[in-house]
Amino acid sequence: MKKAVMISIIVIILIVIVLVVILMNNNAIQTTNTGETTLSYMDVSVQEAKMLIDSNPDLIVIDVSPYHAEGHLPGAINYYPQTELDDAIPSLDSSATYLVYCHVDSASRSGAQKLIDAGFENVYRLDSHYSGWVAAGYEVEK
């Protein structure tokens, strides 16, 4: 009995440590070497993006890809070319939560950063792109 209790306590402590490390690594608020606090977007895995979509019905998914018509994440809004995102930013809700993705790193990074630069605080970027979403077998729309 004592052995089972000790094992349970050790498991709980390990889970807490892992959660703290994850939260520290995913923190979107960064401090520069001059002491300024800046915002940044958070990269999320395909599984984390799926959980974000499933748990947040108000999540706004932004596709900055030229291939939107060939397939996209469910409910994704296409802002391509990126000047369309620039034009849309003033009309978007900066307090909403956004997931930005594309088929390549540069476009999704640029799109997510544009939102951050405009003062948006809850911005996520799918780090394995649309192809990672498809490879995981998750639903797509065409």
Q: Which residue has the tokens 């397939």?
A: 71
> For residue 32, what pLDDT is reported?
45
- What is the CATH classification number for the domain harbouring 89? 3.40.250.10
Q: d(Cα 93, Cα 38) in Å, to the nearest integer?
A: 19
User: What is the domain count for the chain?
Assistant: 1
- 37-46 pLDDT, tens per residue? 568 999 999 9
pTM of the model: 0.75
| Residue 106: inside a domain | yes
Give residue 67's domain range.
40-135
Q: Tell me which of 73 and 18 has the higher pLDDT.
A: 73
Q: d(Cα 60, Cα 3) in Å, to the nearest integer?
A: 48
| Residue 21: inside a domain | no
Contact at 8 Å (CB) between 100 and 41? Answer: yes
| Residue 10: inside a domain | no
Is pLDDT of 47 > 90?
yes
Q: d(Cα 115, Cα 96) in Å, to the nearest integer?
A: 11
- 84-113 pLDDT, tens per residue? 999 999 999 999 999 999 988 789 999 999
Phi, psi of 37 (to 5 degrees): -95, 130
Q: How far is CA 137 from CA 57, 73, 103, in A?
A: 21, 11, 16
| Residue 140: inside a domain | no
